[in-house]
Structure 1
Amino acid sequence: MPGVLQEKVAVITGGTSGIGLSIAHRFVQEGARVFVTGRDAGRLDEAVQELGPAATGVQSDISVLADLDTLYARVRDEAGRIDVLVANAGIVADAALGAHTEENVDLTLAVNIKGTLFTVQKALPLLADGASVLVIGSSNSVRPNEHLEVYSASKAALSNLVHNWARQSRERRFRVNALSPGPTRTPALLRAAGGDADQFAEAVVPLGRLADAAEIAEAALFLASDASSFVTGAELFADGGYTRA
């Protein structure tokens, strides 16, 4: 039986680890051809090997607009269109008030806001009619962590952008939604929280645990597929109830 993304072309930024890589795996399982990006060439090669022949890797930093031009030129030449765009790439370089540095604030905003905005804008000429654009947000957009205040603000900005872009769905002929995970078992989270991650989740997440990245990928598949054909401008919190606790 054909997968729900059979013969679809998907672009996933930041697709070399964690949630992005899980989404790429899930899309490939459903028949998509995927282009994944990452800044680290070695990790990108490993991800493409994991994903198999349906995957193409393009080394890219979304905060560098020339890199985005290179990415989309490759997609145009090799696939001709984009059916699903997942703007997943993001960065956490943050601190609490009193400990911010200009370098880290600039980096967070350049990747998470500017990079995401131009990831979508530069894709417009390639988006097929009815394409699904999926922006990966965070539960921090509505329940900010005091040590991640600039990151949280950047994710709140993405929610606002998605709501604005959805108003243009008719003339642009695409759907756009935000997927905002809660605490998720990813390499980045485990590096930051160490052994405290599971105890944190048990204490504050109503479902009592961290999400697996594969669970977030299932939510992404719904928003990417025709199952969500009348959904645009939405923000889906895949957070185990974290933002409502």
Structure 2
Amino acid sequence: MIRLKGKTAVITGGATGIGLAAAKRFIEEGAFVFLFGRRQESLDTAVAELGPNARAVRGSVSDEADLDRLYAAVGAERGTLDVVFANAGAGSPLALGKITAAHIDEIFDTNVKGTIFTVQKALPLMGEGGSIILTGSSAGTTGAPAFTAYSASKAAVRNLARSWAEDLKGTGIRVNVLSPGATATELAKEALGAEGQKAFAAMTPLQRMVDPAEIGAAAAFLASSDSSFMTASELAVDGGLAQL
């Protein structure tokens, strides 16, 4: 079933990992996708892989001028926007007692401020039937050792959806959170190594990490009318990690 035929989507952090997997699925289901990210080489590689229904704009979600350029490009080529997948994120470990202001700023500038302005600046292009998807995390529910700032930022993202569902009453625009568990992206696999992957897999009832394509499938569901009565919700695709 082609659920996103004729839809235009923006995916931040879309050149690799979950963003790229979602872009693939969106395009398979008929969407036209704009990728937004900081690394031109990765964007170029992604667009070459995705084909003619993909475009790329280089920039950072922490820079409002970059976001203005993104949405100007979307408006110029497509006129309107149906789906925003605010997926760009940052996170690194730093234990309590060693946390710095710079560490907090780096994570919150991307995960919270970046998410807010990614969505706020998209709204003039969106209308009834629009879908906003925010990338949360199982860490926003469970917490994680040495991930104070990251976990707190993802808890904040969860609350953004609750607040915005109220703000968007009467517009026909929905907003939901997609919260993965440990995801087997190329970057994660390289960072964790075989033993680290086994350790994360063992934490879930399903005894494995989630494949990025599975997150992409869930994002396509939230982007489509199949989820038309969902807003302010959190869809956990975490193998049960944060549910038990």
TM-score range, shorter chain: over 0.9
1:29 corresponds in structure 2 to 28
> How far off is 1:175 after superposition?
0.4
2:57 corresponds in structure 1 to 58
Alpha-carbon distance in structure 1 between the residues aligned to 2:190 and 2:146: 15
Indicate if the aligned counterparts of 2:189 and 2:197 stay in contact, CA closer than 8 A.
no
Could you give the per-residue CA deviations for residues 191-241 of structure 1, whole angstroms, max 9, x where no partner exists? 432223322133211100001000111111111101001111100100000
2:75 corresponds in structure 1 to 76
Of 95-104 and 36-45, more deviation after overlay is shown by 95-104
> How far off is 1:168 after superposition?
2.5
2:107 corresponds in structure 1 to 108
Question: Structure 1 segments of 4 or more deviating over 4 A?
Answer: none
Aligned identity (percent) is 48
Q: Which structure carries more strand by proportion?
A: 1
Question: 3-state SS of the aligned residue for 2:35?
Answer: strand
Q: Give me the CA root mean square deviation.
A: 1.2
The residue correspondences of 1:188-207 to structure 2 (distance < 5 A) are: 188-207=187-206
Alpha-carbon distance in structure 1 between the residues aligned to 2:63 and 2:133: 20
1:127 corresponds in structure 2 to 126
Instruction: Using structure 1 for the length normalisation, give the TM-score.
Output: 0.96
1:99 corresponds in structure 2 to 98
Could you give the per-residue CA deviations for residues 74-109 of structure 1, whole angstroms, max 9, x where no partner exists? 111111111111000011133111222322211101
> How far off is 1:167 after superposition?
1.4
Instruction: Using structure 2 for the length normalisation, give the TM-score.
Output: 0.97
1:137 corresponds in structure 2 to 136
Indicate if the aligned counterparts of 1:9 and 1:84 stay in contact, CA closer than 8 A.
yes
Alpha-carbon distance in structure 2 between the residues aligned to 1:169 and 1:66: 24
> How far off is 1:169 after superposition?
3.0
Alpha-carbon distance in structure 2 between the residues aligned to 1:85 and 1:76: 13
Question: 3-state SS of the aligned residue for 1:208?
Answer: coil
Alpha-carbon distance in structure 1 between the residues aligned to 2:40 and 2:234: 32
Question: 3-state SS of the aligned residue for 2:65?
Answer: helix
2:207 corresponds in structure 1 to 208
> How far off is 1:148 after superposition?
1.3
Give 5+ residue unaligned stretches, structure 2: none
Indicate if the aligned counterparts of 2:161 and 2:177 stay in contact, CA closer than 8 A.
yes
1:10 corresponds in structure 2 to 9
